[in-house]
Amino acid sequence: MLGLINRSFQFFLIDTWGVEAWETVAAELALPFAGFEAMLTYDDAALDKLVDASSAHLHRPRDSLMEDLGTYLVAHERQATVRRLLRFSGANFCDFLASIEEMPDRGRLVLPELDLPFLVLTDLGAGAFRLTCHSPIRGAGHVIMGLLRAMADDYGALVLLDHLGQEGGADVISIQIADLEHYAARPFSFGLTA
Amino acid sequence: MNKPLSRAILPLTTEALDHLMPLNLRLDSGGRIMALGPTLARLLPQPVVGRSFFTLFDLRRSSALTGVEDLMSHSGLRLRLTLRPEFRSPGLRPIPFRGMAIPLADRSGLVVNLSFGLGVVDAIRQYGLTDNDFAPTDLALEMMYLVEANTAAMDALRGSAMRLQGDKQMAEAQAMTDTLTGLRNRRALAQALERLSRGTAPFGLMHIDLDFFKEVNDTMGHAAGDHVLRRVAELLMQETRAEDTVARVGGDEFVAVFPDLVDPGRLDAIARRVIEVLSRPIPFEGKTCRISASIGITTSTAYHVTDITQMEQDADEALYASKRAGRGRATFHPGAAQAAQPSAPERRSPQG
């Protein structure tokens, strides 16, 4: 797995829970304090261990930690790039959702080794959708849910999200768009230099 | 007779055309602009309907295309064009459009479609374009996405490279440094000598061995010994120049290398000074440690061909001559000593 993903979790810990939380978990796992290098490849188990150890240290359920990671990736200042790149997918939350299946391809366009979750969206009508998420990362569906929640906020949409558990090895998320323009969207311009 | 023709003609509203191709222009048979797509209209600082296509655009690398007849007869030709300066907002870089002109079926005019080509990133930035300005089939925003994502990936890569570079430099510095004294180690010395032996500048080599250090270690303990070694390192740094290399090469053995310094008088003065400062009492935890130093010196000018091993051996021999002669003194290797007097012993009798 590309270190970029592990590094995201590392900075999620640092920015949300403080550098001490990261250092405690890193020490426990015998990781260097400098952490993961974004462009190096790590064993798939490394992220799992990191999430488990963080969950134990912070007394937070694993799933909720993963969901917070998804929100962090969109909403936190340090991850401004992620949010910008996601906003390229559509002019409103509906457009964004319609092109969400492209996400892994968009990732691979830039980093061929970046293995983002494989997503399948089903339109159930009346603003209701069902999203399935396949990924080797345990709890990836919860990350996607947190990410969707934060993107809905970003677009100013009122959206109800629910994790329906697993089906055939994939996480299933239900999405109900209640109001596409409920709040003011966060400003975004394509031309802004990142 | 009309049937096949009517099937070949597409009844398309101009609104639909503008939607499909927001950067299109419709020209009449005289090359005058009749209408233009909404995105193209956004780029232009003034209305252009009724003006000639050729006043608006500069057709680059296509000197053959000077009039509308040429566009009519070269249907589908790949065009490269830029807006003429008077149709660009001041201060903006010209965007290199690509385009294609297709005559209408009845030859009453032409449709010209444009695209930003590789200028799309500039265009989006300069004109603040949004997804509404492009047809959904256009990959303009994907280009923008790629540029931004690529920049982010490069930044991440650069960050990684810089961290790794920092680690490498630290590891190298550690690999070249004697951890106790902070002086250079044997490896660093070997590199410095190797560099000097390949260059043309002459250099002096001084082998320094502490006298009575074993006694300090034995009677006052290793902590005192370590303290003395660190103090010796400080003093050696003090008595040498920034360009000199001072290395700890054994328990209480040091080597100093002096680039561009082979004058026996000056080397002898440095050696005396080193012996003098090292012979001063070194306080440690309320007690006093006393050592001195014996030195052997040679210079690269004493050899026809610079031979590092030979030089180190000769400096070592000269050092043992100093030891045999009663310690606390410096001796030149005979070849290097031509102009030098052996340094007179100037010694106190150290204790400890």
- Assigned token pair, B282: 């070194």
Residue A102 sits in the same domain as residue A168: yes
Strand partners, A6: none
End-to-end Cα spacing for chain B: 124
Residue A144 lies in a domain: yes
CA B186 – CA B194 distance, rounded (Å)? 12
Residue B313's φ and ψ, nearest 5 degrees, are -65, -40
Does one domain contain both B109 and B148?
no
CA closest to B126 among chain A residues = A191
Q: Is A71 exposed, middle or buried (0-12, 13-18, 19+ CB in 10 A)?
A: buried
Q: Give the integer Cα–Cα distance in Å for B204 and B296.
A: 11
Range of the domain at B133: 2-138
Is residue A65 one of the residues assigned to a domain? Answer: no
- The string of DSSP codes covering B35-93 is EE-HHHHHH-SS--TTSBHHHHEEETT-TT--SHHHHHHTTT-EEEEEE-GGGS-TTPP
- Give the C-alpha separation, B82 to B98, whole Å: 9
Containing structural domain, residue A118: 91-179
Check whether residue B273 and residue B258 sit in a common domain: yes
Mutate one of B125, B146, B148, B168 to test the A interface: name it (highest A CB count within 10 A). Answer: B148
Report yes or no on B341 lying in a domain. Answer: no
Q: What's A73-90 look like in SS3?
A: HHHCHHHHHHHHHHHCCC
**Last residue within a domain, chosen from A38, A60, A82:** A60
**Beta-carbon separation of B144 and A88 below 8 A:** yes
**CA–CA gap between residue A50 and residue A14 (Å, rounded):** 13
Query: Which residues of chain A does B131 touch, with a Cβ-Cβ cutoff of 8 Å?
Result: 90-91, 190
Beta pairing class for B292-299 and B330-332: parallel
Domain-terminating residue out of A60, A77, A104: A60
Are B147 and B250 in the same domain? no
Q: Dig out the tokens for A184 from the structure.
A: 């003011």
Q: Is residue B283 part of a domain?
A: yes
- Evaluate if residue A158 carries a pLDDT over 90: yes
Q: How confident is the model at residue B61 (pLDDT cuts 50, 70, 90)?
A: low
Q: A191: which chain B residues are within 8 Å (Cβ-Cβ)?
A: 124-129, 144
Mode of pairing for the β-strands spanning B109-115 and B24-28: antiparallel
Stronger pLDDT, A180 or B348, i.e. the higher one: A180
Same domain, B144 and B130: no
Asked if residue A39 is part of any domain, the answer here is yes
The amino acid at B14: T
What is the CATH classification number for the domain harbouring B309?
3.30.70.270
With CA atoms as reference, report the closest residue to B247 among B238, B258, B234, B256. Answer: B256
**Same-domain pairing of B151 and B196:** no
A105 plus A168 within the same structural domain: yes
Q: How many domains does chain A have?
A: 2
* Same structural domain, A102 and A31: no
CATH of the domain at B43: 3.30.450.260
User: Are the beta carbons of A84 and B160 separated by less than 8 Å?
Assistant: no
Does the residue A74 lie in any domain? no
Is residue B352 assigned to a domain? no
Do both B145 and B226 map to the same domain? no
Give tens-digit pLDDT for B74-123.
Answer: 888 889 999 998 888 777 788 889 999 999 989 999 999 999 988 888 88
Which chain B residues are closer than 8 Å to A194 by Cβ? 148, 151-152
A35 domain-assigned: yes
Q: Which residue has the tokens 């092109």?
A: A99
- Shared-domain flag, residues B132 and B148: no
Q: Is the pLDDT of residue B62 over 70?
A: no
User: Residue A72 domain-assigned?
Assistant: no
Q: Do residue A119 and residue A169 come from a single domain?
A: yes
pLDDT for the residue numbered B244: 95
Tell me the β-bridge partners of B259: B203
**For residue B243, which of B209, B294, B196, B276 has the smallest C-alpha distance?**
B196
Which residue among the candidates B252, B260, B263, B316 is catalytic per the annotation? B252
Residue A27 sits at the vertex; the CA angle it makes with A22 and A29, to the nearest 5 degrees, is 95
pLDDT above 90 coverage of chain B, percent? 59
The answer to whether residues A51 and A116 belong to one domain is: no
Respond yes or no: is residue B252 known to be catalytic. yes
What is the tens place of the pLDDT at every residue in B110-121?
A: 999 999 988 888
**Cβ distance of B124 and A4 shorter than 8 Å:** no
> Do residues B212 and B164 share a domain?
no
Say whether both B47 and B133 belong to one domain: yes
pLDDT at B143: 87
For residues B73 and A51, the model is more confident at A51
The sign of the torsion formed by the CA atoms of B91, B95, B96, B99 equals: negative
Q: What's residue B342's pLDDT?
A: 42
Q: Considering A60, A77, A108, which residue would you say is the last residue of a domain?
A: A60
Q: Do B130 and A84 touch (CB under 8 A)?
A: no
Chain A: give the shortest CA distance to residue B163, in Å: 9
Do both B143 and B282 map to the same domain? no
pLDDT of residue B5: 52
In a domain, B349, yes or no: no
Residue B181 domain-assigned (yes or no):
no
CATH of the domain at A123: 3.90.1520.10
Q: Are B32 and B50 in contact (CB under 8 A)?
A: yes
Average pLDDT, chain A: 92
What is the interface pTM, i.e. ipTM, of the complex? 0.78
Chain A residue with CA closest to B122: the answer is A191
- Based on the fold, state whether residues A48 and A118 are members of the same structural domain: no
Q: What is the per-residue pLDDT for A88?
A: 87
Long-range contacts of B263-267 (CB under 8 A, 24+ apart): B263/B339, B264/B297, B264/B299, B264/B332, B264/B336, B264/B337, B264/B338, B264/B339, B264/B340, B265/B339, B265/B340, B267/B204, B267/B206, B267/B297, B267/B299, B267/B332, B267/B340
Q: Taking phi first (over 0 means left), then psi (-120 to 50 degrees means alpha), and beta for anything else, what does residue B213 get?
A: alpha
Same domain? For B24 and B10 the reply is yes
- A·B CB contacts under 8 A: 59
Residue A68 lies in a domain: no
DSSP secondary structure letters along B181-199? T-SB-HHHHHHHHHHHHHS
pLDDT in tens, B6-52: 667 888 899 999 999 999 999 999 999 999 999 999 999 889 999 99
Asked if B144 reaches chain A (Cβ–Cβ under 8 Å), the answer is yes
How many structural domains is chain B composed of?
3
Contact between B48 and B87 under an 8 Å Cβ cutoff? The reply is yes
Q: Does residue B344 sit within a domain?
A: no
Same domain (yes/no): A112, A154? yes
Instruction: Answer yes or no: do B262 and B328 share one domain.
Output: yes
Q: Which residues pair with A19 in a beta bridge?
A: none
Task: Express as a percent the part of chain B with pLDDT over 70.
Answer: 93
